[in-house]
Structure 1
Amino acid sequence: MNVTLAVKQYISKMIEISGPGMKVLLMDKETTSIVSVVYTQSEILQKEVYLFERIDSQNRDNMKHLKAICFLRPTKENVEHLIQELRRPKYSVYFIYFSNVISKSEIKALAEADEQEVVAEVQEFYGDFIAVNPHLFSLNLQGVTRGRSWEPSMLARCTQGLTSVLLALKKCPMIRYQLSSDMSKRLAESVKQIITKEYELFDFRKTEVPPLLLILDRSDDAITPLLNQWTYQAMVHELLGLNNNRIDLSRVPGVSKDLREVVLSAENDERESVRRGEDVCKNLLTHHDFRRGSPKVDSVHLDAFVDNYPQFKKMSGTVSKHVTVVGELSRLVSERHASWTKVKQYVGCASNAQLHGWELVAVKLMRSLLFAQMVQAVVEYGGKRIRGSDLITPTDAVSITKHTKGLINGVENVYTQHQPLLHDTLDQMIKGRLKDSQFPYLGASSLRDRPQDILVFMIGGATYEEALTVYNLNRSTPGVRIVLGGSNIHNTKSFLEEVMSATGHSGSSSRAHGGGFHSSRR
């Protein structure tokens, strides 16, 4: 199960169907993000897609020499934009692809608008999610809850996103949900309703052990998103912010123009590629005389240099990118440490305490009130009375001390010793020990065999630490394939915003030929 590959194959198929010739890719705001995460601009350009436009842009030129590939979410707004587009077409022919199920009435409305018969294809290609990593996806939704209930539009969007992932991976699963969360049950029922309604779409080849969809609630583990996660991807998201795998480095002092925004993608930064790049660099350094500042000019070494130069150039850019990112992480950590040291010195200075004591008291009071409000919000969101599981096992100070000491002993890196609750949940599920009383099946009896294909969805957002847990379980458990998804991918800031919003502490989230017009689904 690879969500990145699934979306890439859909996009490749769209471009392939349109045939040779110059093309424009017409998207909406969300599908722009969906495409940009799995394809770089240079990769798309190699497929003769020379222009990228938004369907809602009012200033597009007429370009009859271009074919239009439309990749859009099936929203009312997008359908209306398409209707207006087909009445006054700007391109020679249109290949229309929706990222999810579209109604027959909307297909009929598009057919009626196609008076000039420019539509060559209408299909459903189910890429209605952000494929962050091969085993991780997001719906980029913030503020999905109000109290313990769904925001109605968010329930609909999460249902669409989840069913899209199932269709993209070609899975018709059994469904389990977190009993302590009414939101989990509602989402499970909503997904099941779509599977029942669109049963023909979910008529995939039966497997010996059916796939499993597990729906969880973020409130069951409100600790993991609050921790500083000591992995590369997680630290970047915490300190710099990762938005659709992109990092904004424009504020980095002295950053070069081509590094103001960089992409951090597991797909493009595989360790194997890095190792190949290191080998190329070593070869080049070996055959280069730095004292004279010029390479040894002989035919063998020159041929090797020419053969390896593209890879060297690519890896040179990758190394520069990561050096810049790590350098900025280091600068921010040092800067924050220095700021904290200055605050302690300032507070400890007698003259400052006398001259500005009232200011310090005011700041301290404001911070205390804000902190108290946040603590109250987190307790309301994920406190003991809300949780369905025992998040913190030791109950007294002595037990906690012994438990912590036992965890630290023999641990190679104490900063990465924390295991999110998801690890235990999945471990129990894989071993067939996950309790039906806490995670019941929806309308089905228990699964007797060990599950092989597991899709986990976290209402309220997942984290990169949990994605790493899934990655490690995939590597260490032969025959088991797990994909993790969330309404969002959180760092501390975004999670606290989610909590404050949820608890009310924040005010702020087919084919057409001639007259015949029909759609097909993939």
Structure 2
Amino acid sequence: MTMVSLVISQTEIISKQVFIVEPIDNKSGNSSSSSTVDRQMSHLKAVCLLRPCKASISALEGALRKPKFKEYHIFFTNFVTDAALRSIAAADDFELVKQLQEYYADYYAVNEDLWHANMGRSRSLYGKRSHWTSADHDVLQRITQAILAMMLSAKKRPVVRYQNASSLAQTVAKEVIRGMKEESQVFDFRDSSRPVLLILDRREDPITPLLMQWTYQAMVHELLTITNNRVDMRNCPNVKKDMAQVVMSITQDQFFRESYTFNYGDLGKAIKGLVNKYKEKKTSQKIDTIQDMQRFVEQYPELKTFQGNVSKHVGVMVEMNRRVKEEKLMAVSEVEQNLACDKSHGTAVQEVMRMLGDSKVSFKRKVCISALYHLRYERHRGNEMATIRSLLKDQAKTPTNQKLVRFVDEIIRYAGEKVRGGELYGSRGGFFSSLKSVFSGGLSEIENVYTRYKPILSSVLDTLLKGNLSVQDYPYMDQVGSSNVDNVFVFVIGGVTYSEAALVAAINKSSSGCRVILGGSCIHNSTSFINDVLGLFPDMKEVEIDIKAEG
């Protein structure tokens, strides 16, 4: 149901004459209508959208053996095995299944050019494959299935390239090729385009998920966390009940669709414009005649919806602004950017020590800063990691923070120089040409100093689109494609970020003539990335930290 809710609202579903939405194994009465548990509804038809996994197929078989509906129309989001089809047929004693199709949608679509596989804990795949558990093989299969479903929904059979420095990227590339060959009939598209699927590894750029973000969607995810397009604000101060959970979806919110890549300063201006637009609509409502009254009644639902949308974005902006000021996130971000982009070790040490000594800076951000320092200067003679580690341990007064301290060492095991294949540091320009605050409410000025670091993905895509991507560093799997491509599908094992999604959105808005679609195991913020890295290793398997609670 989550896959569906990401792209269509409950209101839109009802408008299609779908009156009840519930899980196939609904035993608790959770549905869009009143409880339907054990209620016979033989006057209704059931449309079942299911993942072809064991649990879904088992639930479907149970529903067919004790049917509630007149007939069943079944749509699987990916390939269905012959064994599963036989099992379903055997369960259909009443012959109520009228159609069964494969409708390739086995992934989570977030933006028009961003999706993920909802596999936030794929970290154990980095171990030796001979040590993999059955659960690890299931994760690899799930990632492969999601990629294949994306290709089929786009009706593309791409040539596959992968990051040569990553054995895991090569493994995924092999599995994708094998899947396309096994399902060659459905991948037989008569298409003159030149698509390429590029498999990358999060470990090649561990910096991006650690940085404070300054574009709207990325900033909301970093400070408030977006889960299935929903933001939980119940723990935020002075939040009204109707704002306890808000939806941030580009398909259901026109303003968010227009502003999700805006930087912090431009966002303030846009929200101010939204507020002014609402004021104009509200004050223009004159009720002098019966016709005016009728017009007001007809327009009231739209005005009420508009008011709710304005309240949502203002509320989110107010909360983010509070966090930015109270946690000194601009000062933090400047230090993070300096660590990512500058080379002066002496200056870096001074800035890190200043942040570690500031009581207003959250412990999580201190850990991020320390990790960025460690990544940058892990082989620098005379680095101050021992001192930094000691200071962090002294400040770690809670069990959560004590576990967090280990991240500054685990990040090296995860993505240190010995692990990475490419150059992480170098000369990097700013992603945005200008970031100026224009919100009269008093937002501080945002400048390039906060957005200097460009994700590695930027240079990779730039080189690929120019036809110059190194075949040695990014070899082809199975077949060689054209150097000129017009459709690029990127998948990042270990997760993508909304800042990388903003970069892709900017490319797609340009006149390059090439369409880029970005996908990943999950969508990270710094909290989820830290948890992922801490869980990579056997002695950290069960660690998952609620950083918000004790940060």
TM-score range, shorter chain: 0.7 to 0.9
- Residue in structure 1 matching 2:240, options 217, 241, 256: 256
CA distance in 1, matches of 2:431, 2:516: 28
| Aligned counterpart, 2:509 | 475
Structure 1 residues 461 and 505: alpha-carbon distance in aligned structure 2, compared to 1, 3 A threshold: farther
Aligned AA (1:318): N
Conservation of the 8 A alpha-carbon contact between 2:392 and 2:405: no
**Rounded Cα–Cα distance in structure 1 between residues aligned with 2:497 and 2:433:** 26
Aligned with residue 251 of structure 2, among 262, 267, 278: 267
Retained in 1: the 8 A contact 2:393–2:405? Answer: no
Contact 2:195 2:485 in 1 (8 A): yes
Question: Which residue of 1 is the match for residue 416 of structure 2?
Answer: 383
Indicate whether 1:228 and 2:212 are aligned. Answer: yes
Cα distance between partner residues in 2 of 1:101 and 1:194: 10
Cα offsets for 1:318-373 (capped at 9, x unmatched): 1011112112223333443599999479xxxxxxxxxxxxxx99743668965652
Shift of 1:244: 0.6
CA deviation after TM superposition for structure 1 residue 158, in Å? 0.2
Which SS does the other structure have where 1:126 is aligned? coil
Give distance in 2, aligned partners of 1:473 and 1:233: 17
Q: What is the alpha-carbon distance in structure 1 between the residues aligned to residue 203 and residue 240 of structure 2? A: 42
CA contact (8 A) 2:165 2:421 kept: yes
Cα distance in 1 between the residues matched to 2:290 and 2:281? 14
Which of 308, 325, 333 is 1:317 aligned to? Answer: 308
SS of equivalent residue, structure 2 residue 470:
coil
Count of paired positions: 446
Aligned positions of 1:356-375 closer than 5 A: 363-364=394-395, 370=403, 373-375=406-408
Could you tell me how far apart the structure 2 residues matched to 1:445 and 1:310 are? 56
Cα drift, residue 408 of structure 1: 11
- For 1:447, the equivalent position in structure 2 comes to 482
**Which amino acid is 2:310 matched to?**
V
Q: Which has the higher contact order (CA 8 A, sep 6+)?
A: 1
Of 273, 286, 297, the residue aligned with 2:288 is: 297
Deviations 1:363-410 (A, max 9, x none): 4366896565211111111111211211102xxxxxxxxx68x86997
Q: Single out whichever of 66-75 and 171-180 deviates more from structure 2.
A: 66-75
**Is the 1:287–1:296 Cα contact (8 Å) retained in structure 2?**
no
Aligned runs of 1:169-318 on 2, under 5 Å? 169-207=154-192, 209-271=193-255, 281=278, 283-285=280-282, 287=284, 295=286, 297=288, 305=296, 308-318=299-309
- TM-score between both structures, scaled by the size of structure 2: 0.74
Structure 2 Cα separation of the partners of residues 101 and 361 of structure 1: 49
More divergent stretch after superposition (377-386 vs 332-341): 332-341
Report deviation, 1:297: 2.0
Distance (Å, rounded) in 2 between the aligned partners of 1:297 and 1:437: 75
What is the rounded CA distance, in whole Å, between the counterparts of 2:528 and 2:94 in structure 1? 47
Deviations 1:134-187 (A, max 9, x none): 100011112213244562111100000000000111110000000000110110
| Among 1, 4, 18, the residue aligned to 1:49 | 18
Distance in 2 (alpha carbons) for counterparts of 1:273 and 1:373: 40
Alignment-mate amino acid for residue 3 of structure 2:
I
Amino acid at match of 1:69: V
Change (3 A) 1:312 1:278: farther
- Secondary structure of the 1:422 match is helix
| 1:458–1:487 CA contact under 8 A, matched in 2 | yes
Moved more, 431-440 or 274-283: 274-283
Identity across aligned pairs (percent)?
37
Letter in 2 for 1:485: G
User: Cα offset for 1:482?
Assistant: 0.4
Counterpart of 2:217 in structure 1: which amino acid? Q
Q: 1:68 to 1:409 in 2, by over 3 A?
A: closer
Cα contact 2:25–2:59 (8 A) shared by 1: yes
Matched, 1:457 2:491: yes
Letter in 2 for 1:322: H
Higher gyration radius (CA):
1
Asked if residue 162 in structure 1 is aligned to residue 129 in structure 2, the reply is no
TM-score norm. by structure 1 comes to: 0.78
Q: Is the 8 A contact 2:431 2:454 kept in 1?
A: no
Q: Which residue pairs with 1:132 in the alignment?
A: 110
The 1:310/1:166 distance shift into structure 2, 3 A limit, reads same
Contact 2:3 2:107 in 1 (8 A): yes
Distance 1:255 1:126, change over 3 A: same
How far has the Cα of 1:89 moved from its partner?
A: 0.6
Distance 1:112 1:220 in 2: 49
Question: 2:63 is aligned with what amino acid?
Answer: E
1 CA distance for matches of 2:360 and 2:211? 23
Q: Any idea what SS the aligned residue of 2:173 has?
A: helix
Partners of 1:380 and 1:503 within 8 A in 2:
no
Q: For the residues of structure 2 that align with 1:122 and 1:194, how far apart are their CA atoms?
A: 21
Give SS of 2:109's match.
strand
Answer yes or no: is 1:101 the counterpart of 2:79: yes
- 2:366: which partner in 1? none
Aligned partner of 2:55 in structure 1 is 77
3-state SS of 1:39 partner: coil
Confirm whether residue 329 of structure 1 aligns to residue 298 of structure 2.
no
477 and 409 in structure 1: CA distance in 2 versus 1, 3 angstrom threshold: closer
Instruction: For structure 1, list consecutive stretches of 5 or more residues without a partner in the other structure.
Output: 1-31, 289-294, 346-359, 394-402, 510-522
Match of 1:430 among 442, 461, 465: 465
CA distance in 2, matches of 1:387, 1:194: 28
1:68: which partner in 2? 46
Aligned CA-pair RMSD: 3.1
Q: Cα distance, 1:45 vs. partner? A: 1.3
**Kept in 1: contact 2:275–2:310 (CA 8 A):** no
Q: Which amino acid is 1:157 matched to?
A: R
